[in-house]
Amino acid sequence: MPAVKHAVFKLSLAVLCGLSTAQAVEIQGTGSSAAAPLYVKWAGALQKNGHSLKYDAAGSERGLAAVKANQSHFGATDVLPPAAELNKAGLVAFPIAVTAVVPVINLPGVKGGQLKLNGDVLAQIFSGKITDWNDPAIAALNNGERLPSKSIKLVVRADGSGTTFALSEYLAATNKDWKAGMGTGFSLKWPAGVQAVKGGQALASAVKNTEGAIGYVDFGHVADQSLADVKLGNAEGKFIKVTPAAITDAVMNSNWASKGDFDDKLINKTGAGTWPIVTGTFAVLPKVVDKAAGNTVAELFVRGFMSGDAAVSSLSLVRLPDQIKGKATNAIATVRDKAGQPLSISYF
């Protein structure tokens, strides 16, 4: 990946080819459970220089708290706090991969990518205003064809979830009643009678085992659980099937690409082929770090960006475009050790 290597050298992460630090370093990461398998895979490369990673998959909220309290060398979160909040806490953040939130259904005779829904109708479904699959509003989006008369069974997350947060942001952006009523958040006050489960895996299984169900999962669960996904209306009014390319389009039509502004939410972005509910998983570092630990943390991420795409894809996440990897490396390059010096790593 020459473009990424260029970014690394240009941005003064001093890559010391063929050298290693004097002693092995164990770094601590805390946070996102969804991203934990990726950190574990990326950490394998650290062993070339004798280093290691201890990772506590305690959730995004705990990851942010741990790095703020200097209890962890880096935090991992699926929902990024505002830039002003990070700056006040002396932190810098950057994405490591992206994924999508996908509505999924269980309706006899309806295959994946067959049913069309948009944010307005989806909001009415999840707020309990549309309760039957043969509702005229659903038929209107699907060439006037009505589905069988069958009650809609909502399956939602019972635990605080970044997936719920992203879904709620999309629905708030596309339905004013949802924005005023249900709002956005890690947890929501769902209508009575929903099936609430803990964890994305449990939600995927519940949809698969409940006829008439609709739920929402991370992109990776769709293929892993053979779930029927919907085509979703985007900001251009196009109905899109979720694909890695559609997810990447959201990134490239955002301020991530144009300005390196990772504060920009990847929700309902423009572009005819853009999937409208895209999220990143992020690393959060202190701006001032211990030298040995900081160098090792930088090594973890730079190695991941340069040679970790296979690990990203194997976990059904979507790799960052090279342009975004360069901007993420810019963020790492702003970190200094306690003597005010830029970080340095051994890559080879």
Q: How far is CA 95 from the centre of its chain?
A: 9
Residue 218 CA: distances (Å) to CA of 21, 56, 66, 151, 338: 38, 21, 25, 24, 39
For residue 162, the SS3 value is: helix
Residue 17 has pLDDT above 70, yes or no: no
Quote the CA–CA distance of 208 and 224 in Å, as a whole number: 12
Structure tokens at 309: 């795409």
91: number of Cβ within 10 Å = 20
Tens of pLDDT, residue by residue over 119-177, are 999 999 999 999 999 999 999 999 988 898 999 999 999 987 888 999 999 999 999 99
pLDDT, residue 70, reads 94
Residue 21 has pLDDT above 60, yes or no: no
Quote the CA–CA distance of 56 and 297 in Å, as a whole number: 15
pLDDT, residue 76, reads 94
pLDDT, residue 190, reads 96
Amino acid of residue 223: A
Give the residue among 331, 339, 314, 347 at the shortest CA–CA distance from 74.
Answer: 331
Share of the chain above pLDDT 90, in %: 76
Three-state DSSP string of 211-229: CCEEEEEEHHHHHHCCCEE
Domain extents in the chain:
2-99+257-267+276-345, 101-245
C-alpha dihedral over 162, 252, 345, 40, to 10 degrees? 40
Matching fold, domains 2-99+257-267+276-345 and 101-245: yes
Residue 79 has pLDDT above 70, yes or no: yes
Quote the CA–CA distance of 198 and 243 in Å, as a whole number: 26
pLDDT, residue 18, reads 37
Domain covering 2-99+257-267+276-345, topology: D-Maltodextrin-Binding Protein; domain 2 (3.40.190)
pLDDT, residue 310, reads 94
Contact criterion met (CB below 8 Å) for 246 and 101: no
> What is the average per-residue pLDDT within 108-124?
96
Choice between 162 and 63, residue whose per-residue pLDDT is larger: 63
User: Phi and psi at residue 256, in whole multiples of 5°?
Assistant: -60, -45
Structure tokens at 243: 């694909």
pLDDT, residue 154, reads 98
Give the residue among 279, 337, 306, 322 at the shortest CA–CA distance from 78.
Answer: 279
Residue 60 has pLDDT above 90, yes or no: no
Quote the CA–CA distance of 26 and 43 in Å, as a whole number: 10
Q: How far is CA 142 from the centre of its chain?
A: 29
Q: Which helix (H) or strand (E) holds 300?
A: helix 291-307
What is the chain's mean pLDDT, rounded?
90
Quote the CA–CA distance of 214 and 202 in Å, as a whole number: 13
Residue 7 has pLDDT above 80, yes or no: no
Quote the CA–CA distance of 24 and 166 in Å, as a whole number: 39
CATH classification for the domain delimited by 101-245, as one of 3.40.190.10, 3.40.50.1370, 3.90.170.10, 1.10.3720.10 = 3.40.190.10
How many CA atoms, within 13 angstroms, populate the side-chain half-sphere of residue 95?
Answer: 32
C-alpha dihedral over 291, 293, 297, 299, to 10 degrees? 70
Contact criterion met (CB below 8 Å) for 38 and 82: no
> What is the average per-residue pLDDT within 220-236?
94
Question: Phi-psi category of 336—alpha, beta or left, where left has phi over 0 and alpha has psi -120 to 50?
Answer: beta
